[in-house]
């Protein structure tokens, strides 16, 4: 006898794009070997300098009397360790002049959890059957947002304007002229760099979105998982920004600590208090390990030098190599474009007039041991089934070993070429 699920249960238990992605990622990393080319997830690379630093920090924690016991054996306040939050606030005050204190800093079980809490606290059903939504001003947007509502559709996405650059490059821009806003918008949300495309919204775009949010009396939410000041996987100029109209989220995942599940939120005091309340109800408290490892690096500012001198150059170099492999394998008459790589861990490939969907291409590649992410998952919130572009894109990660990534691009090119040839036959 099957047990019946609630509407909430059906919504969260029925599978999702992010669930499939993480399942593929987990199985690929667990199985290991040379058979799987994992070019799908947001798994950060194992940078030797960073891995060595984490090992050193764990040794220091073990050596310091009582520190290991506190990290593993104590509950912290629901909003996070007070000294960790004070260190984050101090760094932002000193380096960027932001007027923040410990009351403006909160910790969550990863950035994903922060957005689940924030989206559902701000948007959804209100009194008198009113429905408020999160405005996504630049779609495609992060796959992990798509299924986070508590059973109702809460996203209003805006198609980008597309700038074609040279023969094989393009870039998305926020189409402010196409944006329609009203009193049913609860917040504006962007990721910077944008996951999946590696697009970095310009300072001007962020300023205009901030002004729009202010005019609507709603928050501008900036997902900074890959951004400045840490891990700073950005390859172009982008100024870190915060004011009390912005909810800024950061993470320790992309600097090399995804297993610690540590998200950081910078926001008004009432938002931090709300996050603490939700954390206490859902999970009592947050994980301590990430906060304990990184706190001295934040206090000293070392987290910035590691981001600027180690993390950023590494991923910029990986991006350059990946673009080289695209040229090597795709520049053989294929109608392709790649989004300008300005940050994060991915290339976003666009195959114009692709005769199969990106989902079908994903399945074909998976059968050949190459895991990518079909682009269609990232176009939620846009109600236009005739827009072919949403089915013509792939997100491809370049964080794995060079030989794996290069061979993955070779197989992608081969499979795409077959799709075009079969359609023309």
Provide the CATH number for the domain around residue 141: 3.40.640.10
Q: How confident is the model at residue 266 (pLDDT cuts 50, 70, 90)?
A: very high
pLDDT at 323 over 90: yes
Give the pLDDT band (50/70/90) at residue 363: very high
Whether 66 maps to a domain, the answer reads no
Q: How far apart are CA 390 and CA 172, in angstroms?
A: 13
Check whether residue 243 and residue 312 sit in a common domain.
no
Q: How many Å apart are CA 263 and CA 276, to the nearest integer?
A: 13
Same domain, yes or no, for 193 and 253? yes
User: Is 234 inside a domain boundary?
Assistant: yes
Q: Is the pLDDT of residue 218 over 90?
A: yes
Bridge partner list, 266: 105, 248
Terminal alpha carbon distance of the chain: 50
In whole angstroms, what is the distance from residue 115 CA to residue 409 CA? 32
Mean pLDDT across the stretch 96-104? 97
Check whether residue 257 and residue 394 sit in a common domain.
no
Q: Are residues 237 and 301 in the same domain?
A: yes
**250 located within any domain:** yes
Looking at residue 27, its pLDDT comes to: 60
Per the domain annotation, does 57 fall within a domain? no
Predicted local distance difference test score (pLDDT) of residue 332: 81
Assess whether pLDDT exceeds 70 at residue 14: no
* Residue 128: pLDDT over 90: no
Exposure string of 83-100, with b = 16+ CB inside 10 Å and e = fewer, is: ebbbbbbbbbeeeeebeb
Q: 4 pLDDT band (50/70/90 cuts)?
A: confident
Condensed to tens digits (0 to 9), the pLDDT of residues 380-389 reads: 999 888 899 9
Question: What value, to the nearest 5°, has the Cα angle with vertex 315 and ends 55 and 87?
Answer: 50
pLDDT at site 20: 63
Q: What is the pLDDT of residue 384?
A: 87
pLDDT at residue 315 in the model: 97
Position 26 scores a pLDDT of 60
pLDDT at 289 over 60: yes
Question: How far apart are the C-alpha atoms of 233 and 311, rounded to whole Å?
Answer: 7
Q: How many CB atoms lie within 10 A of CB 285?
A: 18
Q: What average pLDDT does the segment 379-406 reach?
A: 94
Of 305, 336, 357, the last residue of a domain is: 305
Omega before 193 within 30 of 0, i.e. cis: yes
Q: Which residue has the higher pLDDT, 101 or 41?
A: 101
| Same domain? 339 vs 374 | yes
Q: Average per-residue pLDDT in the chain?
A: 92
Q: Is position 20 within any domain?
A: yes
The domain boundary, picked from 305, 330, 355, lies at 305
**Confidence band (pLDDT; 50, 70, 90) for 228?**
very high
**Residue 320 and residue 217 share a domain:** no
Three-class SS string for the chain? CCCCCCHHHHHHHCCCHHHHHHHHHHHHHHHCCCCCEECCCCCCCCCHHHHHHHHHHHHHHHHCCCHHHHHHHCCCCCCCCHHHHHHHHHHHHHHHCCCCCHHHEEEECCHHHHHHHHHHHHCEECHHHCEEEEEECCCCCCHHHCCCCCCCCCEEECCCEEEEECCCEEEEECCHHHCCCCCCEEEEEEECCCCCCCCCCCHHHHHHHHHHHHHHCCCEEEECCCCCCCCCCECCCCCCCCCCCEEEEEECCCCCCHHHCCEEEECCHHHHHHHHHHHHHHHCCCCCHHHHHHHHHHHHCHHHHHHHHHHHHHHHHHHHHHHHHHHHHHCCCCCEEEECCCECCEEEEEECCCCCCHHHHHHHHHHCCEECEEHHHHCCCCCCCCCHHHHCEEEEECCCCHHHHHHHHHHHHHHHHHHHHHHHC
Specify whether 196 is located in the same domain as 339.
no
The confidence score (pLDDT) of residue 22 equals 59
Residues 40, 92 within the same domain? no
pLDDT of residue 34: 54
155 lies in the same domain as 298: yes
Share of the chain above pLDDT 90, in %: 83
Q: Does residue 31 register a pLDDT over 60?
A: no
Claim to verify: residue 344 and residue 392 sit in the same structural domain? yes
The CATH number linked to 315 is: 3.90.1150.10
Task: Output the six-digit token pair for 159.
Answer: 């198609």
Q: Are strands 105-108 and 263-266 parallel, antiparallel or unpaired?
A: antiparallel
Per-residue pLDDT, averaged over 24-37, amounts to 60
What is the predicted pLDDT for the residue at 214? 96
Cα-Cα-Cα-Cα torsion 136, 315, 354, 382, nearest 10 degrees, comes to: -10
Range of 339's domain? 7-51+308-424
* Cα–Cα distance measured from residue 122 to residue 119, given in angstroms and rounded to the nearest whole number: 5
**Residue 47, pLDDT score:** 97
Confidence band, pLDDT 50/70/90 cuts, at residue 17: low
pLDDT of residue 125: 86
Report pLDDT digits (tens) over 162-216. 999 999 999 999 999 999 888 899 999 999 999 999 999 999 999 999 999 999 9
Which pLDDT value is given to residue 150? 81
Judge if 83 and 104 occupy the same domain: yes
Banded model confidence at residue 50, pLDDT cuts 50, 70, 90: very high
> How many folded domains does the chain comprise?
2
- pLDDT of the residue at 30: 56
Judge whether residue 32 has pLDDT over 60: no
Q: Evaluate whether residue 379 is within a structural domain.
A: yes
Q: Is the pLDDT of residue 396 over 90?
A: yes
Please state, in angstroms and rounded to a whole number, the distance separating the CA atoms of residues 212 and 199.
21
Domain stop point among 282, 305, 328:
305
Residue 69 lies in a domain: no
In a domain, 380, yes or no: yes
pLDDT for 41 equals 80
pLDDT reading at 234 higher than 90: yes
Q: Are residues 342 and 399 located together in one domain of the fold?
A: yes
Higher pLDDT, 111 or 10: 111
What pLDDT score was predicted for residue 331?
86
Say what the pLDDT of residue 299 is. Answer: 98
């Amino acid at each position: 006898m099957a047990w019946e699920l609630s509407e909430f249960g059906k919504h969260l238990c029925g599978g999702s794009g992010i669930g499939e992605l993480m399942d593929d990622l987990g199985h690929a990393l667990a199985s290991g070997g040379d058979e799987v080319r994992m070019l799908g997830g947001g798994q950060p690379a194992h940078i030797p300098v960073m891995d060595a630093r984490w090992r050193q920090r764990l040794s220091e924690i073990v050596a310091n009397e009582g520190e290991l016991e506190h990290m593993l054996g104590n509950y912290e306040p629901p909003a996070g360790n007070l000294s960790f939050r004070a260190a984050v606030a101090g760094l932002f005050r000193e380096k960027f002049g932001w007027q923040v204190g410990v009351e403006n800093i909160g910790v969550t079980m990863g950035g994903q959890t922060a957005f689940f809490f924030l989206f559902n606290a701000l948007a959804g059903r209100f009194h008198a059957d009113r429905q408020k939504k999160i405005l996504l001003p630049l779609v495609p947007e992060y796959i992990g947002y798509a299924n986070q509502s508590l059973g109702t559709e809460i996203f209003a996405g805006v198609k980008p304007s597309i700038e074609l650059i040279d023969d094989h490059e393009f870039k998305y821009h926020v189409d402010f002229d196409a944006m329609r806003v009203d009193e049913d918008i609860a917040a504006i949300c962007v990721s910077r760099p944008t996951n999946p495309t590696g697009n970095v919204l310009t300072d001007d775009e962020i300023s205009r979105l901030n002004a729009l949010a202010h005019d609507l009396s709603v928050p501008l939410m900036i997902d900074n998982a890959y951004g400045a000041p840490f891990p700073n996987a950005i390859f172009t100029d982008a100024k870190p920004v915060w004011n009390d109209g912005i909810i800024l989220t950061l993470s320790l995942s992309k600097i090399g600590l995804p297993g610690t599940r540590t998200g950081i939120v910078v926001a008004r005091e009432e938002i931090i208090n709300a996050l603490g309340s939700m954390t206490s109800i859902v999970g009592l408290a947050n994980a301590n390990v990430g906060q304990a490892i990184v706190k001295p690096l934040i206090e000293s500012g070392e987290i910035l030098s590691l981001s600027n001198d180690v993390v950023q150059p590494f991923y910029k170099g990986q991006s350059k190599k990946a673009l080289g492999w695209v040229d090597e394998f795709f520049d053989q008459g294929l109608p392709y474009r790649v989004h300008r790589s300005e940050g994060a861990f991915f290339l976003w490939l666009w195959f114009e007039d692709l005769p199969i969907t990106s989902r079908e291409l994903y399945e074909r590649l998976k059968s050949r041991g190459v895991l990518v992410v079909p682009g269609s998952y990232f176009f939620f919130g846009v109600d236009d089934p005739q827009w072919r572009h949403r089915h013509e894109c792939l997100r491809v990660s370049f964080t794995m070993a060079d030989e794996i990534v290069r061979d993955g691009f070779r197989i992608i090119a081969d499979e795409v070429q077959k799709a075009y040839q079969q359609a023309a036959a």
